[in-house]
A = this chain, B = another copy of it.
């Protein structure tokens, strides 16, 4: 067989009878007692297998993001798609497709902010203060903090605890955790109604502590949320709905445009 340089890759080495990912034969990966999905995600995106505690910490973040119910646009779209007569692959693709800069992008953004702060030679509290000031002067809120209706995000505590434990046993350094907690402290100074860290913030700490690039942070969230998209697409496919709209069909959108007029 010829080899194509146009499609070169360092990820998978495939030839008749052989499949290896970053050098590891697929049959060994399948059979290994230590390799699960978290390890495979790490291997495929980083080129090396993680240690067991690294994989375990990553997996907790993946578990945390699987779903936020049908009011999340990604999930609503997966469900609506299933009622339009497309395959479950298209429903899941439609969900993934909207996990953009706003819906899912906050974690990636925060990971970039961690970098800016950690590269700042000033003491942590000053570096954080400067960064928050910069964001506010750009009229931006701090990504990864606050939630439209959770006063306290129930995913924050167990994720932060998992990072603390991992830090205490030397799995991660804990520098990104420290930055995140300092951000949380500062944005909550003198506030009556607290702005707690949310899921994007808490998972961003884990992905950053484990050394993932910011763009991969978004990719990891997508892998996680795909599970919810599948579950909801499947549930909706068992309904008898056809062309499910966003609201019940007895409700029509309000029209705010030109009054009736004749085509000239």
Q: Please list the residues of chain A having a beta carbon within 8 angstroms of any beta carbon in chain B.
A: 1-32, 34-38, 40-41, 44-45, 47, 49, 59-60, 62-64, 66-74, 76-77, 79-81, 83-90, 92-94, 96-105, 148-152, 154-155, 157-159, 161-162, 213, 215-216, 218-220, 222-223, 226-228, 230-235, 237, 242-264
Contacts and interface: CB of A to CB of B under 8 A. Distances in A.
Chain A interface, DSSP helix/strand/loop, else mixed: mixed
Contacts of A100: 81, 84-87, 89-90
A247 B250 CA distance: 14
Identical subunits present? 4
A37 B237 CA distance: 23
B235 A25 contact: no
Nearest to A64: B30
Given A18-B154, A247-B246, A256-B8, A227 B98 contact: no
B263 A49 contact: yes
Contacts of A37: 36-38, 59, 62-63, 227
